């Protein structure tokens, strides 16, 4: 299952997705456990918390590369104050002239909505150890913190990867009492949270903010210059073609897409045919592009158009995703969306895979191509086999043959059901240290969901053999979208 959601950007896109099958296991290079630590202090305003902002922030004194929205809403504050060294963290009444240290961000359509900070020049970028955000309000009405953090790397500075989502609202703050908040994103062991970082992006539109917008006083980023280049496990490559007149892109459209000609299994809100003359969702998987200035080649996607599409992939192994976009001019040619996946084991739970934000600085008729793949050449997803004995059988403890120390992984992505049966019959793994497989046969196969195998096992200490009906659970496993992060909480 794959979900593509479009964040709040007014863009029309032609989106064609190409996903290919392979029989490999992805081995991600995850080495950090991300921790989000929250804290609150409250009292009468003016309220000065006991915290202090780091003085060695990598973005100290920086003007944001991108700043969208009105950060001075209610307070008259300047967005540059968020990184100003020594800025006061005091929470004042928002109508006070002293409240100009309090920037307002959120998803109400008016407040500051997006910030991008480019880190200082460094050959290999920066390895980050923590990100700290301070905020608050004169009462408990706008004292939460809500945003999604992305980062780009020196290896691919134009593409942003999901890092984490913050959604913190302090509890127990009395009505009419000033409230100050602090959120620290760090590694549980004090290590790096992201490597070779070139830029950071803060999206304040997701998750939604308390009452639409909330107050922030400072953002600090700590880390050090990287000594080598770290390449994320997932690479996003972008390319553009443009012209002063009509043209057809020279990119060859992939022909073996898993969703070629497929209609979405579900669509979100919005109108994919918002602009007159466009085709709608059918254009997304028709396998053609055609003339870039021909609106019939597109579906309209964005905050004012179609907002999400879901495609059922039946437990396939994925190696890459390709998305095409364009428009008769440069104003609606960009790509802005997040991609999620769910597994066969838990089809209702969607996990973030990648985030795309690409808008090339060109003029005229413009077409874009964005490709998402693993940096190792391995697939983005593989199918992993777990042996789950039937309840009440003598071997009642579920065992994972792919992780047993005496076993080798069994991958079935892209294979036909009977091929899977043959592999299972010949599979030499021991499903438990105390059991030995004697025979194995496939009595029923449902590819992409559950395989049922009739096997005979005997105890290593007994001569008696007994049958076990084992259910083989085919679960799609994908890597985390960040090189150094083992656990992530991310959303659009």
pLDDT one-digit tens code per residue, 412-439: 233 333 333 333 333 333 333 333 333 3
Q: What is the pLDDT of residue 422?
A: 38
188 and 85 part of one domain:
yes
178 and 239 part of one domain:
no
Q: What is the pLDDT of residue 32?
A: 57
Q: What is the pLDDT along the chain (492 residues), one digit of tens a residue?
A: 233 333 333 333 333 333 222 211 122 222 458 999 999 999 999 999 999 999 999 999 999 999 999 999 999 999 999 999 999 999 999 999 999 999 999 999 999 999 999 999 999 999 999 999 999 999 999 999 999 999 999 988 877 888 999 999 999 999 999 999 999 999 999 999 999 999 999 999 888 999 999 999 999 999 999 999 987 778 888 899 999 999 999 999 888 888 888 898 888 888 999 889 999 999 999 988 999 999 999 998 887 788 888 888 777 777 888 999 999 998 888 888 888 877 777 777 777 777 787 778 888 999 999 988 877 776 664 433 333 333 333 333 333 332 222 222 222 233 333 333 333 333 333 333 333 333 333 333 333 333 333 444 343 444 443 333 333 333 322 222 222 111 111 222
The answer to whether 125 and 95 have CB atoms below 8 angstroms apart is no
pTM: 0.61
173 and 116 part of one domain:
yes
76 and 179 part of one domain:
yes
Q: What is the pLDDT of residue 132?
A: 98
Distance, in Å, from the CA atom of 339 to the CA atom of 348, rounded to the nearest integer, reads 15
Burial class (CB in 10 A: 0-12, 13-18, 19+), 214: buried
Contacts of residue 354, Cβ cutoff 8 Å, sequence gap at least 6: 161, 162, 234, 236, 321, 338, 339, 372, 481
77 and 159 part of one domain:
yes
From residue 228, alpha-carbon distances to 92, 155, 236, 322 in Å are 44, 11, 20, 29
Distance, in Å, from the CA atom of 371 to the CA atom of 320, rounded to the nearest integer, reads 7
Written as six digits, the tokens of 231 are 């390449």
110 and 158 part of one domain:
yes
Instruction: Tell me how long the chain is.
Output: 492
Residue 485 in domain: no
Q: What is the pLDDT of residue 258?
A: 85
Residue 488 in domain: no
Q: How many domains does the chain have?
A: 3
> Which among 348, 374, 400 is the end of a domain?
374
The range of the structural domain enclosing residue 216 comes to 34-225
Residue 487 in domain: no
The answer to whether 11 and 301 have CB atoms below 8 angstroms apart is yes
Residue 482 in domain: no
Written as six digits, the tokens of 57 are 């922030």
CA angle 146, 13, 272 (to 5 degrees): 85
68 and 207 part of one domain:
yes
> Which among 201, 225, 249 is the end of a domain?
225
Q: What is the pLDDT of residue 379?
A: 63
Q: Count CB neighbours of 234 within 10 A.
A: 28
Distance, in Å, from the CA atom of 14 to the CA atom of 440, rounded to the nearest integer, reads 49
400 and 328 part of one domain:
no
Considering all CA atoms of the chain, what is the largest pairwise distance in Å, rounded to the nearest integer?
Answer: 86
Q: What is the pLDDT of residue 13?
A: 39
């Amino acid at each position: 299952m794959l979900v593509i959601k479009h964040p709040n950007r007014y863009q029309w896109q032609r989106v064609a997705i190409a996903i290919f099958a392979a029989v490999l296991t992805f081995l991600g290079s995850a080495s950090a456990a991300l921790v989000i630590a929250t804290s609150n202090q409250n009292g009468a305003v003016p309220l000065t918390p006991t915290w202090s902002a780091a003085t060695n922030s990598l973005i100290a004194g920086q003007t944001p590369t991108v700043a969208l929205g009105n950060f001075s809403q209610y307070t008259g504050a300047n967005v540059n104050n968020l990184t100003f060294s020594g800025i006061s963290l005091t929470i004042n009444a928002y109508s006070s002239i002293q409240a100009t240290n309090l920037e307002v961000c959120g998803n109400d359509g008016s407040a500051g909505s997006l910030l991008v900070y480019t880190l200082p020049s460094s050959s290999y970028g920066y390895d980050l150890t923590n990100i700290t955000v301070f905020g608050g309000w004169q009462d408990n009405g706008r004292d939460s913190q809500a945003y999604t953090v992305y980062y780009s790397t020196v290896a691919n500075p134009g593409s942003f990867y999901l890092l984490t989502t913050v959604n913190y609202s302090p509890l127990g703050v009395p009505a009419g009492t000033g409230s100050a908040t602090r959120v620290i994103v760090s590694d549980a062991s004090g290590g790096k949270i992201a490597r070779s970082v070139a830029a950071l992006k803060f999206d304040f539109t997701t998750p939604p903010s308390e009452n639409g917008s909330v107050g922030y006083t400072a953002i600090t980023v700590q880390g050090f210059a990287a000594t080598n280049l770290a390449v994320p496990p997932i690479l996003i490559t972008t390319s553009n073609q443009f012209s002063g007149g009509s043209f057809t892109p020279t990119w060859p459209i992939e022909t073996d897409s898993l969703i070629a000609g497929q209609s979405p299994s579900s669509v979100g809100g919005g109108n994919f045919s918002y602009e007159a003359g466009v085709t709608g969702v059918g254009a997304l998987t028709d396998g053609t592009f055609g003339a870039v200035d021909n609106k019939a080649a597109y579906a309209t996607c964005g905050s004012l158009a179609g907002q999400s599409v879901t495609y059922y992939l039946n437990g396939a192994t994925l190696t890459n995703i390709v998305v095409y976009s364009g428009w008769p001019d440069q104003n609606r040619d960009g790509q802005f969306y997040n991609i999620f996946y769910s597994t066969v084991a838990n089809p209702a739970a969607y996990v973030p895979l990648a985030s795309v934000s690409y808008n090339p600085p060109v003029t005229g008729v413009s077409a874009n191509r964005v490709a998402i793949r693993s940096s190792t050449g391995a697939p983005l997803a593989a199918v992993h086999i777990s042996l789950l004995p039937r309840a009440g059988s003598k071997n009642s403890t579920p065992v994972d043959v792919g992780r047993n120390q005496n076993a080798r992984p069994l991958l079935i992505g892209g294979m036909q059901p009977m091929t899977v049966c043959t592999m299972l019959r010949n599979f030499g793994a021991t499903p438990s240290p105390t059991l030995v497989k004697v025979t194995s046969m496939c009595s029923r196969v449902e590819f992409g969901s559950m395989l049922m195998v009739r096997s005979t096992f005997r105890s290593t200490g007994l001569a008696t053999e007994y049958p076990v009906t084992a259910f083989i659970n085919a679960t799609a496993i994908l890597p985390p979208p960040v090189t150094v992060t083992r656990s992530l909480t991310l959303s659009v």
